Structure 1
Amino acid sequence: MPSSDLYGELRPRAFAIAYQMLGSVGEAEDVVQEAFLRLHQTLQRDEPITSPRAYVATLVTRLAIDHLRSARTRRERYVGEWLPEPVVTDPSPAEQVELADSLSLAFLVLLENLSPQQRAAFLLREVFEYPYPEVAEIIGTTVDTTRHLVARARKHVHERRPRYHASRQQRRELAQRFFAAAEQGDLRALEALLAQDVTLHADGGGNVPARTRPVSGRGRVIRAWSAGMSALARYGLRVRVTEVNGQPGAVAIDAQDRLAIVMGLDIVDGRIQAIHSVANPDKLRHLDRTSELGGLLRAAGGAGDDG
């Protein structure tokens, strides 16, 4: 494998690209491992590599595109609604706000509607700030085609992407009020915190009970959410507010400190626009390493060139 210094330098960006391409921690780590194995083999053959950073980004992106194409067939057979694997993150520093917003569960779900090539072009250009010629080289297209891919993806994303006008501190405080009101059964307070067209998404993967379709509308969401919180109390689960994928959220933990559910909130204009609840245990197993993964994502910001 490459030297530990090179690996440590390149891995955060590689993991962030793979995770945002695939929405899966396990699949992202597999792609990153394969990319570094290929880098190692190339170095062993003494083949010249002008920029290891660009080389790894290219490998990771192309592997992720291939992986995403095959994953889509599996997701069509998924039981219930498919949501990305969540990452519990520490509050991000100010310079990482844009990256944190691009990690939100709602944003990753939105990217699922793009083709794999559109998703790659959009992320590399709009999130990781690679110049168009470099994006074109990475995904194997012309600059004109790349511009077209990014433009189509940008139009789709910007029409639907949440606009976070409130500060991160304001969003965290609103999340705390929301989960407190839910635990107390304060329906009036819940109503005041939810947008009129709020949507509740749940992912049990067929492994645990969960709604198989989204619930929309303030009244329906309040009823469904209140019933869910009552069930958590009956099973002795306690809720702890934290940060999920760079946005306010919470985790539900049992008496043995075992993680049962991860919940992420999308807050727009001072109201909760969407709730994403992931209870599929297959998507939560990685969270015993959450601080490591959160650190990787925070370290991945910055422009795409080597300086």
Structure 2
Amino acid sequence: MNHAELFLQYRSLLFGIAYRMLGSLDAEDIVQDTFLQFQKLDLATIVNPRGLLITIVTRRCIDLLKSARVQREQYVGTWLPEPLPTGDLLETISQKETLSMAFMLMLETLTPVERAVFLLRDVFDLDYAEIADTIDKSPQNCRQIAHRARINIDRKQTRYEMSMEQKVRLLQQFLVACNGRDLDSLIRLLAADCKFYSDGGGKATAALKPIFGCDRVISFLSNVMKQLPPDLQVIAIELNGEPSVILQTGNLVAQTLTVRIRDGKIAEIYAIRNPDKLDRLSL
């Protein structure tokens, strides 16, 4: 087996780690750089290619997160992960949950090393000895890091009581209610503590801070709907494991809208308008 064939076996795993680490499709560049580095190595000297590839990807992601810290802190408005189409991903419902906007935002509360340890242990099921080799720390230290990370990560909000088909229908009802300015239906569809997050990155109009509460969210949406162009196309898609739509004018993607459903109601809405995060979604 040559380098390319061996690498291909683990490519989806490596991308999964990199995307969850970075929250952006820069993960593709990290994976490609990893292959280029791997290609230079003598296969005869590699005992554990999977472990080596995970180590290279993880360390590159940690380095990139550390170098981008100041840029992230200076980001204009709310930062949201770059939307990832997941309809064709061969991942379980539980695995897709760890790609959700809500979960990715929770990861933002962790340091790069905490993020790496938490993901490798709790999402990708590596043992502490493997993780220790990956980040060059002792297994005991990795246990402590994982414990700290879990304190900051609240996964109790996860709900699987609705199928994707049911979630899609709820999203469709929401869009119809928005388009028709149907206040009663919006109140019925949205959770009382609904949250609206909008990411324009200073390059597109967006709410600079999250909007909390059903009434405020509805008020904001009503104003937004008045400004939508008449030729707007609404294209259904699954993004980050959640029902979503792409709003497009001509060949230009103007926005994505993703909803998170809790207990049969829309609890969170994520709107991404930053053009830098939409380029790779052009259809």
- Matched AA of 2:18: A
Is it true that 1:132 corresponds to 2:128 in the alignment? yes
Is it true that 1:53 corresponds to 2:53 in the alignment? no
Q: Match for residue 4 of structure 1?
A: 4
TM-fit CA distance, 1:30: 2.2
TM-score by length of 2: 0.93
Is it true that 1:247 corresponds to 2:246 in the alignment? no
Pairing 1:27-42 to 2, within 5 Å after superposition: 27-42=26-41
Q: Match for residue 188 of structure 1?
A: 184
**153-162 or 183-192, larger mean C-alpha shift:** 153-162
Which whole-Å deviations, capped at 9, do the CAs of 1:72-123 have from their partners, x for residues lacking one? 2101111111111001221666x61111111011111110010111100111
Q: Match for residue 233 of structure 2?
A: 238
Q: Is the 2:258–2:271 Cα contact (8 Å) retained in structure 1?
A: yes
Is it true that 1:69 corresponds to 2:66 in the alignment? yes
Unaligned runs of 5+ in 2: none
- Matched AA of 1:104: S
Pairwise CA RMSD: 1.9
Identity %: 40
Unaligned runs of 5+ in 1: 290-307
* Larger helix share, 1 or 2: 1
Q: Match for residue 84 of structure 2?
A: 87
C-alpha distance in 2 between matches for 1:279 and 1:142: 42
- Matched AA of 2:39: H
- Matched AA of 2:66: R
Q: Match for residue 301 of structure 1?
A: none
TM-fit CA distance, 1:125: 1.0
SS at match of 2:45: coil
How many pairs are equivalent?
282
- Matched AA of 2:82: E
SS at match of 2:94: helix
Is it true that 1:179 corresponds to 2:175 in the alignment? yes
C-alpha distance in 2 between matches for 1:85 and 1:265: 15
Which whole-Å deviations, capped at 9, do the CAs of 1:172-231 have from their partners, x for residues lacking one? 221121122112221111111111111111111111111111111100001111222232
TM-fit CA distance, 1:259: 1.3
SS at match of 2:40: helix
CA 160–229 in structure 1, closer or farther in 2 if over 3 Å, else same: farther
Dislocated runs of 4+, deviation >6 Å: none
TM-score by length of 1: 0.86
Q: Match for residue 154 of structure 1?
A: 150
C-alpha distance in 2 between matches for 1:131 and 1:229: 49
CA 92–19 in structure 1, closer or farther in 2 if over 3 Å, else same: closer
Match of 2:279 among 281, 285, 297: 285
Which whole-Å deviations, capped at 9, do the CAs of 1:224-257 have from their partners, x for residues lacking one? 112222322x353122232111111111011x23
